[in-house]
Each structure stands twice: as C-alpha cells, then as structure tokens.
Copies of this chain bind each other. A is one copy, B any other.
Amino acid sequence: LALILDNKGFEICEVYARQIADAKAIIKLTYEAEATDSLDFRGSKAGLFIVAVKDDAIEHVAKQLLLPAGATVVHTSGTLSLAALGKALPNTGPSDTKTGVFYPLMTFSKSREVNFRQVPLCLEAIDQATEDVLVAIAKKLSDIVYVISSEERLSLHMAAVFSCNFTNHLWALAKEITIAKKLDFSILHPIIAETTRKALAATHPANGQTGPAIRKDKRTLERHIALLEDQPDIQLVYQTLTESIQEWH
C-alpha cells in the first residue's frame, strides 16, 4: 500500500515496524521516509495514519498510537468494525482524531504483483468530511471504490473467504489427488479457467452448476466416496459440499 501511495505522489512520512530493520527494509524498496519502531507520532506532519497489520493486532497497535492533532487513522481489515478502532485509541489523544476503514478486497502474496487499479477498495469513515478524503485518495489508487458499512464489510469479507480461500483450498486438494496418481495437474487448468469465466459471466453461479451432485448421479458419488476411503478429511469435504449442492438445488 505504501509503494502504491508513493507511486501516486503521496508523501510517506514514516514507516513503523516493531523491528526498525523491517521498517527500513520496506523503505529501501522505493521511497523516502523515516523508519521508526516508536508509535509516538505526535511530532509527525502526516495527516493519514494507516494501521495495516494483522486483524488481531490492530487494536493492540491503536492503543499505543500517539497522534498529532487533526489526524485521520484507518485500518485495512475486512472484519474489524470502525467503532472498535475508535474505542481502541487512547483517551488522552487529540479530540479531533478521525477514524476510517480502507479495506482492499484482494488476496495478496509477497511474490505476486497485482494491478491495484482493479482492487476494490471498501471505505468507511466516521463523518462525511473524512469519507470524502478517503474516497479521493482511493480513487487515485483504484478504479473500484465502494463506501460500505462495518456490517456489510464483514459479510463481504466472509463471502471473499468462500470465493477465494476455500476455492483455492479445493484446488490444492485437487492437486493432491493428481499427485497421488502421478497425473499432471495442468490437465485440470482448462476446466478451472472455464469454470471461473463461466461463474463471472453468469447472473448467478448456481445457474452453471454441473457435476454428479446436482445430477444426483448416485453411482459416481459412491465411486468417488470409495476412492477417498483412506483420506477421511478429504472425504468429509466431498460429502459436505455434495450435500450442500443437493440442498441448494
């Protein structure tokens, strides 16, 4: 996020990490900024503070944040509410601190670059003026900007878990199945690509559902279940998803 902001001409003032070496490593990548392992930013000239840490650590970090007057602080989490961030900030801080959320709905890996213009940014702010600022910043970074509530964001994040984390795990299981038979996983690449294209083109992905579960093809289902006898954990995934498909259709 810092790299993207820097690229768009925003000035990065400080980069914080618990270990100052980590902050320095990030800064070294492209931009000028001060590395720090202190959360005392009372002397900072920054206007926006982005708490981009693990969901579990946001409130812990926020509790120690010492901010200058007139600052806005946002987190980048899909699950933590806006109110929780406000509650975590120290009572002793400036009374004009504004809070917000700047949640990029995307899966990030260190080894992969993504086109940030295609990353949906889900924003929320404590007041209209703060929202306007966040929207203006977000639109410089991405073509897809939404203002959504904490409640909506939590549902959206959960939908993303189904859409991204769970599907990826199913592909990992499929890879394991091919490895066990010394088959080439790339045989499955075309069907994975087509399934994705089809779901994204559909009014509702359910309209394009195929396979033995929706056909109630008992014999095939029994054959697959038998194949998985030695892998009860994968077998349970197979049965649960098959029943869910049959319940929904």
Contact in complex: B171, A199 (CB < 8 Å): yes
Shortest CB distance A146–B (Å): 6
Which of A122, A148, A190, A238 counts the most chain B CB atoms within 10 A?
A190
Which of A167, A201, A243, A245 counts the most chain B CB atoms within 10 A?
A167
Among A23-31, A37-45, A179-187, the stretch that binds chain B is: A179-187
Does chain B have a CB within 8 A of A18? no
Interface residues of A: mostly helix, strand, loop or mixed? helix
Number of A residues, CB within 8 Å of B: 93
Contact in complex: B159, A188 (CB < 8 Å): yes
Known: A105-B188, A159-B175, A163-B195. 11 other contacts (CB 8 A): A55-B217, A56-B219, A118-B190, A152-B181, A152-B183, A157-B224, A161-B238, A163-B191, A164-B192, A233-B244, A233-B248
Show 12 A/B contacts (Cβ-Cβ < 8 Å), sorted by A.
A54-B215, A107-B194, A112-B198, A146-B187, A156-B187, A161-B238, A163-B170, A168-B198, A169-B209, A175-B205, A233-B243, A237-B241
Shortest CB distance A16–B (Å): 21
Contact in complex: B165, A171 (CB < 8 Å): no
